[in-house]
Structure 1
Amino acid sequence: MIPAEEHTSPNLNRSKRYAMIALMMAVLAWLALMVAAKLLPEYVWLIHILMLSAEAGVVGGLADWYAITVLFRNPFGKIPIPKFLKDHTEIIPRNKARIAESMGRFVQENFFSPQVVERTLSSTDLSLAVGQWLANPTNNSQVTQVIQQTVPKIFEFVSQEQVGRFIQANSVQWVRNTQINTLASEMIRAVLDNDFHQDVLQRGLDLAHDWMTQHPEQTQALTQTLFKELGVWKLAKGASWIGIDVQKRTIDSLIERVESMLADPEHPWRQKIESVAHDLMLQLADADSDASARLNSTKDALLDSPQVLNFISGAVVILCNAIREDLLKTDSGIAENLRVAIQQLGQNIVSNQDIRRLLNEKLSGIAINLSDQYSEKVILFISERIHEWDSREMIDKIENEVGGDLHMIRVNGVVVGAFIGLVLGIIRALVDVAF
């Protein structure tokens, strides 16, 4: 460890020097006045007043020196002294454990307690500050630059093949351990509860109707293929000999049915589709149902397929390479899109008060929970770090930081003591003259 003398602050050295000079001046004045009292008896009354002032200055300086010294060390060294005196020296080193606990408790109560965190966050619109920061073009550009510089280096440090194998191993294992019937059931529930399926169905019917009406030749070819697959093509072709165009009637009937479904939101086929989706949702919610068993078995079969696993790994490698090559460009499209997305996110947060309120509530809840869970660990961490400090090093550190002001108290002790002694001397002289 570096000796204390080598890293003592200039302020501490200067204060010690001033304190020593003040004490020595008081001592020298006291000695000089004692000699003067013998040599100048006619002025002994005045000399006694000044001598009392000097004595009080010496006493004040020495008393303050002792009070400051016992904070850090034992000023008596190896000299035997009464126990009640020795027990009140080296106050800081002796109470290091209590100081450590007190500091940890102070930090916990004033910075990390749930009440303090809640009160601080309740008066701060944190999401607004975050949104304004993200919306600032300089800030979102800096964030994008950091990402643009960091991601390619990560890909260089870890090869794409390793990333692919890692994602493949972990994602496959996660999917294998997940009963996706519950996930599928909740997804269907979300679609049905929000009537999203009606929008999808309406859009799908529109596309199907437009395609069949605008591509009659392809529709006929598709119908012909379907008839052949069903084994009724020869029957349909034979019916055409007697004037019945089964293929055209089928297409017209299908178009008519699609148009009727488009025109009627309560069409029976629509209701049937919704009913089938609802039944499927309920079946998938039951882990023991046949639908759940089929879905999970299909999932496991796909995960056991080498082709699927190779596809996942290869897709990851291709994706990583594409991202890396794009980010290395000065006019990276990914980086620009990311910057725009960050800026729009910030602007949306700023402009949407409901979102800010929700974010503030969530962030406040998270912060309060974290402070409640980890505040005691903060106390323990601070206490342990202080316990690990070397006592000598801790004393030097504290003395360097506050010792300068403490030693100036010694100067004040000499000055204030001398002034008090002067006042007392004058009072005593007045009493002697009066009586």
Structure 2
Amino acid sequence: MTSDTQPSLINSLQRSKRLATIALMMAVVAWVALMLSAKFFPQYSNILHILMLSTEAGVVGGLADWYAITVLFRNPFGQIPIPRFLRDHTEIIPRNKARIAESMGHFVQENFLSPQVVEKSLQHTNLSHSLGQWLQNPKNSGQITQVMQQILPKIFDFIEQEKIAQFIQSNSLQWLENTKVNQLASEMLHSILDNDFHEELLQQGLDSAHEWVLQHPTQVREITTTLFKELGILKLSKGASFLGIDMQQRTVDSFMEKLEQVLQDREHPWRQYVEQYGKSLMLELQQDHSTTSERLNHSKNALLNSPQLVNFMSSAVVILFNAIKSDLAKTDSGIAKNVQAAIETLGENLLQHQEVGALLNQRLSTLAVHFSDRYSDKVIRFISERIHEWDSTDMIAKIENEVGGDLHMIRVNGVIVGSCIGLALGTVRALVDYAF
């Protein structure tokens, strides 16, 4: 409930109470006035008795409704001794707080959080379409971006505090020390080989190398010159050039020929060698005590024990955080614009790709049903415990503020309806007396 709504409800409650009290007092005053009038004007006693019966019924209706509403929240008799059967049916809401808590919990569970209800509701809801429409709206994506601009700098400031930074750094280093990177590397290789990513990577690499050699003949010439020089055969190649033999070009041509063979032949021995080497490396990394695994873990530990590396990483993180904070502080933040554009693009893609949307709906529905089945009891228990912990006075005040205005208007209706019924009964009585 907002701060503006609370005073409005309190004012409505007080206004309804005053109106109900005024209606009851008017009925009492009218009743007394009519009784006195009947004494002083006996010639009008018939009509006055009809009206008096109407006001009596209005007083009874108003008092009865006042009592009925009051006993919901408190004991209207106070310390006055009353029969037990009356006392046991006062303060109905405070006395039954535990039962109300359990009933509310079961009501929420049965009507909102049960797996059957959640699944049925989501079957008629296109979550991905609604999400896509919401995300592609510039107003909504702008709000998300603004929240990000406000929260991220505060998170960075918190992380950059000296003690927090040291805590995170020490725990991160400890986690890395206790982590066997050979197992991680083995799993990565397993995923790459199983999904034939190595074939794609190799193909992309060979295509890029082939294209680069064709487009950069000068740089290729320089590389072969450097290579021949390191091998000590540069003078020999120059001597062969006098005989019309260009050893450097022949080397390049030979390389290109081999490269094209590998590109065209999916079963080329070089490709098979790469795959076999990858599988062999994966199997070695699966074994914690293999030479490859021990070498990899030793290299990791050596890096972690290097103060220079740790200081460099800490400095790099600080520099990165400062750069992000500085950019987010700008009104025309590039990061914010890119994030907002990415959010809107995501929304558009969700609307355009129906297959992805259908799959997302299915996954979200399955996830929601799973969570409702697993955690609904905990949610209900939490609700019941919070209601049990409520102070009875506070609970009564909350309920009265919410519905008290309407309840006290029932008192007004009681006076009016009672008066009407009394008037009708009085009229019937007068007609019967007149007829007989």
Q: State the TM bucket, normalised to the shorter chain.
A: 0.7 to 0.9
| 1:182 and 2:187 aligned | no
Q: Which residue of 2 aligns with 1:198?
A: 199
Moved more, 137-146 or 148-157: 148-157
Shift of 1:191: 2.6
For the residue of structure 2 that corresponds to 1:265, the secondary structure is coil
Correspondences of 1:49-128 after superposition (within 5 Å): 52-128=53-129
Q: Which runs of 5+ in 1 are unaligned?
A: 1-5
* Residues 390, 196 of structure 1: alpha-carbon distance in 2 compared, 3 angstrom cutoff: closer
| 1:352 and 2:356 aligned | no
Q: Which residue of 1 aligns with 2:381?
A: 380
Q: Which residue of 2 aligns with 1:317?
A: 318
| 1:20 and 2:25 aligned | yes
Alignment partner of 1:219 out of 219, 224, 232? 224
Alignment-mate amino acid for residue 78 of structure 2: G
Shift of 1:289: 4.3
Moved more, 44-53 or 177-186: 44-53
| 1:364 and 2:365 aligned | yes
* Residues 188, 34 of structure 1: alpha-carbon distance in 2 compared, 3 angstrom cutoff: same
Deviations for 1:332-369, whole angstroms, at most 9, x for unmatched residues? 43333333322222222221122222332333333333
* Residues 224, 380 of structure 1: alpha-carbon distance in 2 compared, 3 angstrom cutoff: same
Alignment-mate amino acid for residue 25 of structure 1: A
* Residues 13, 47 of structure 1: alpha-carbon distance in 2 compared, 3 angstrom cutoff: closer
Q: Which residue of 1 aligns with 2:5?
A: none
| 1:390 and 2:391 aligned | yes
For the residue of structure 1 that corresponds to 2:107, the secondary structure is helix
Shift of 1:34: 6.2
* Residues 257, 96 of structure 1: alpha-carbon distance in 2 compared, 3 angstrom cutoff: same
Shift of 1:433: 6.5
* Residues 144, 247 of structure 1: alpha-carbon distance in 2 compared, 3 angstrom cutoff: same
* Residues 301, 78 of structure 1: alpha-carbon distance in 2 compared, 3 angstrom cutoff: same
Deviations for 1:171-223, whole angstroms, at most 9, x for unmatched residues? 43333332233332332233333333223223333444455662234214214
Q: Which residue of 2 aligns with 1:35?
A: 39
- What's the TM-score, normalizing by structure 2? 0.79
Moved more, 284-293 or 299-308: 284-293
Shift of 1:253: 4.2
Distance of 1:171 and 1:404 partners within structure 2: 58
- Is residue 23–residue 61 contact of structure 1 (8 Å, CA) maintained in 2? no
Moved more, 310-319 or 378-387: 378-387
Deviations for 1:253-285, whole angstroms, at most 9, x for unmatched residues? 444322321232221221221222223233334
Shift of 1:155: 4.2
For the residue of structure 2 that corresponds to 1:308, the secondary structure is helix
Aligned-residue RMSD, C-alpha = 3.9
For the residue of structure 2 that corresponds to 1:9, the secondary structure is helix
Shift of 1:57: 4.0
Shift of 1:78: 2.6
Q: Which residue of 2 aligns with 1:10?
A: 15
* Residues 305, 45 of structure 1: alpha-carbon distance in 2 compared, 3 angstrom cutoff: closer
* Residues 358, 175 of structure 1: alpha-carbon distance in 2 compared, 3 angstrom cutoff: farther
Shift of 1:425: 4.8
* Residues 26, 106 of structure 1: alpha-carbon distance in 2 compared, 3 angstrom cutoff: farther
Alignment-mate amino acid for residue 387 of structure 1: H
Deviations for 1:366-390, whole angstroms, at most 9, x for unmatched residues? 3333334443343333334433443
Distance of 1:160 and 1:395 partners within structure 2: 45
Alignment-mate amino acid for residue 16 of structure 2: N
Moved more, 334-343 or 208-217: 208-217
Aligned pairs, how many?
419
Shift of 1:164: 6.5
Identical-residue share of aligned pairs (%) = 58
Shift of 1:88: 1.3
Moved more, 87-96 or 51-60: 51-60
Distance of 2:348 and 2:199 partners within structure 1: 32
- Is residue 54–residue 421 contact of structure 1 (8 Å, CA) maintained in 2? yes
- Is residue 16–residue 409 contact of structure 2 (8 Å, CA) maintained in 1? no
Shift of 1:156: 5.0
Deviations for 1:282-311, whole angstroms, at most 9, x for unmatched residues? 333444544333333332332223333233
| 1:293 and 2:289 aligned | no
Distance of 1:423 and 1:375 partners within structure 2: 54
Q: Which residue of 2 aligns with 1:3?
A: none
Deviations for 1:208-247, whole angstroms, at most 9, x for unmatched residues? 445566223421421442x46xxxx69x89x98xx9x997
Distance of 2:206 and 2:394 partners within structure 1: 80
Distance of 2:150 and 2:200 partners within structure 1: 42
- What's the TM-score, normalizing by structure 1? 0.79
Distance of 2:23 and 2:301 partners within structure 1: 84
Shift of 1:96: 2.3
* Residues 432, 343 of structure 1: alpha-carbon distance in 2 compared, 3 angstrom cutoff: closer
Distance of 1:154 and 1:47 partners within structure 2: 79
Moved more, 135-144 or 261-270: 135-144
Alignment-mate amino acid for residue 365 of structure 1: T
* Residues 291, 157 of structure 1: alpha-carbon distance in 2 compared, 3 angstrom cutoff: closer
Q: Which residue of 1 aligns with 2:264?
A: 263
Correspondences of 1:222-237 after superposition (within 5 Å): 222-225=227-230, 227=231
- Is residue 349–residue 355 contact of structure 1 (8 Å, CA) maintained in 2? yes
- Is residue 23–residue 414 contact of structure 1 (8 Å, CA) maintained in 2? no
